[in-house]
Amino acid sequence: MGKPMNRRSFVSGVGGLLLGSTGIASLAGCSTVTRSTDIKAMNRGVKLPAYRPWEGPKPDLPASGRIPAAFRHYPKDTERTITRRPGDGSRLSGTVPVSGPIPPGVDQNRYWRELNRQLNLDIELNMAPGPDFPDKLQTSIAGDTLGDVWNIFGTPPYLPQLLQAKAQDLTPYLSGSEILKYPFLANLPTESWRGCVFAGKIYAVPVVRGVLAANTMLSRADLFRKRGVDPNFTSIDELLEIGRKMTDERRNMWAFSQVPNTVLSTMLDMPNVWKEENGRFTHESEMEERKEQLEVGRRMSAEGMLHPDAINSFNGKVWFPQGATAMIQDTFSGLPSFYQQATVDDFEIAMPTIPGPDGKPGKVWFAPNNSITAISATSPERTRMILEVLNWAAAPFGTKEYTFRKYGIEGHDFNFKDGEPRSTRAGNSETVLTYFPLGYFVDTAPPIYYAGFPDAADAVYENLRHSAESMILNAGYGLYSPTYASKQALLGTLLDNAAKDIYRGRKPVSSWDETMKDWRARGGEAIRREFEEAQETRER
């Protein structure tokens, strides 16, 4: 579930969330919550939930480590795995983002009514589109209208204090083997649960994305073929040469939709934002390789390889399928939207393996979760009921519950065509293009499956076969830094603006040294110290 939102814009918005709310900020001084300066207390560990993978239908290509199972076609025989409706007939309310249009209300939405029936609940959702969700969440907190279940995207200020004051401690229900009472929650990867721990307790459940949310380079294989260019590359020089060959301004075609920074980071063997070595944290922007990356971006811009609006007004998700750009840095999970927008019959996407400095497959960045979701403090009976509902919502690919949650009512919201589920017009509206916001309560790691595009499943699996095991996490993942929470938007804008000035040629690459001095002084150094103290606490 859950199409990824634009993370940069979302995190920039959520970075200011709650900062100006005196009600939440004052939580830091309450006797019932941890002081906002107590790094050790906010980062205490806990026994994580046990992991028990669900077997599921036999895939065409098996799961291996972080590589999910691949299916060329939808399973013919899906299994009903939950025989008892999990709800108790009550109203269940939630505050969640929406990654597409707001769905029709329950009175005009057959899918929503059937969802209520299958769950034995009256679900009420307080929704907002992704970019507007930070304001919605802040308003809900201030007005004490969060509801029973509420999604948290990014790292808001005072998050541990908010959870301690408002959320249910789920540790007694999910820690260790306790989670096995909820088998589909136990099917969620262990590393996803690390992002749900604050102040020594489990306060949330993960909205999992897994490796398919990792960024890679997508190339228009059909356009490359017409120009006689090989989309594969083993070095930055080769990538730039491809960029020159695939740029044709007279035909309004440019090689790159944006400066592919994450791809370049892999090629330069840079860390996923933060790296930790012998207790010392280093930000990727502090490394000499970052200046190499900036120089590559400057050359792409200076030589006209970037779409003219790439730096100021990125719209690559339109340019790429229309053929205005030949390459885009995007996720494996983004493939279906590009195929759906294809304007030519021979539309084809290639996914070159991203090389490291030695030309061999590089270390690709990834994050386990899209977001996390908390349950408001309540009685043990209601907590267990809500966890049963979340267990239902986490039912994986290959179950009838998954098919209904994603696609809705057969014959109304979708039909099977050549064995593949295809949404109807009503289904696209009612299920939000299969991304109904129930998926921001909790979500299971998706398999490699692209309805109607079996070759894409093989291509993604082959790409991940080379890169998945060496994928790297942000060393700061699962750790809480109050300075990062309060200053992430400010510092992110500082770095982003400085990089754009270099790409445009307004400043030299050497100006980055001064930018980093400013970054450290404004909060970067404090974030480093807090992460180092947090890591030391977690390792004990």
Q: Which residues pair with 197 in a beta bridge?
A: 202
In CATH terms, are 45-212+370-466 and 215-365+479-539 the same topology?
Answer: yes
pLDDT in tens, 375-385: 999 999 999 99
H or E stretch including 455? Answer: helix 454-467
pLDDT-based confidence at 131, cuts 50/70/90?
A: confident
**pLDDT of 447 above 60:** yes
212 phi and psi angles, rounded to 5 deg: -70, -15
**Which CATH number does the domain 45-212+370-466 belong to among 3.40.190.10, 3.40.50.970, 3.40.50.150, 3.40.50.10490?**
3.40.190.10
Cα separation, 277 vs 27, whole angstroms:
34
Pairing of strands 325-331, 254-256: parallel
- Domain-by-domain residue ranges, the chain? 45-212+370-466, 215-365+479-539
Note the pLDDT of residue 27.
55
Report the pLDDT averaged over residues 415-424. 95
Phi (first) and psi of residue 92, to 5 degrees: -120, 115
Read off the pLDDT of residues 251-304 as tens digits, 9 standing for 90 and up: 999 999 999 999 999 999 999 999 999 999 999 999 999 999 999 999 999 999
Q: Quickly state the pLDDT bin for 341 (edges 50, 70, 90).
A: confident
* Average pLDDT of the residues of the chain: 92
Reading the block at residue 443, the tokens are 């979500």
DSSP collapsed to 3 states, 24-43: HHHHHHCCCCCCCCCHHHHC
Looking at residue 4, the DSSP 8-state letter turns out to be: P
Structure-block tokens of residue 463: 């790409």
Q: What pLDDT is stored for residue 30 in this prediction?
A: 53
The confidence score (pLDDT) of residue 33 equals: 64
Q: Which two tokens stand for residue 532?
A: 């180092």
pLDDT in tens, 6-45: 433 333 333 344 444 444 555 554 545 678 889 999 999 9
pLDDT at 4: 37
Residue 63 predicted with pLDDT over 90: yes
Taking CA atoms, 204 is separated from 164, 284, 438, in Å, by 11, 29, 15
Q: Which two tokens stand for residue 351?
A: 């996914």
Residue 369 has pLDDT above 70, yes or no: yes
Report pLDDT digits (tens) over 134-190.
Answer: 889 999 999 999 999 999 998 999 999 999 999 999 999 999 999 999 999 999 999
Q: Which residue has the tokens 């065409």?
A: 60
How far is the C-alpha of 74 from the C-alpha of 420, rounded, in Å? 6
Write the pLDDT tens digit of every residue in 47-61. 999 999 999 999 999
Q: In whole angstroms, what is the distance from residue 192 CA to residue 187 CA?
A: 11
Q: Give the fold, CATH level 3, of 215-365+479-539.
A: D-Maltodextrin-Binding Protein; domain 2 (3.40.190)
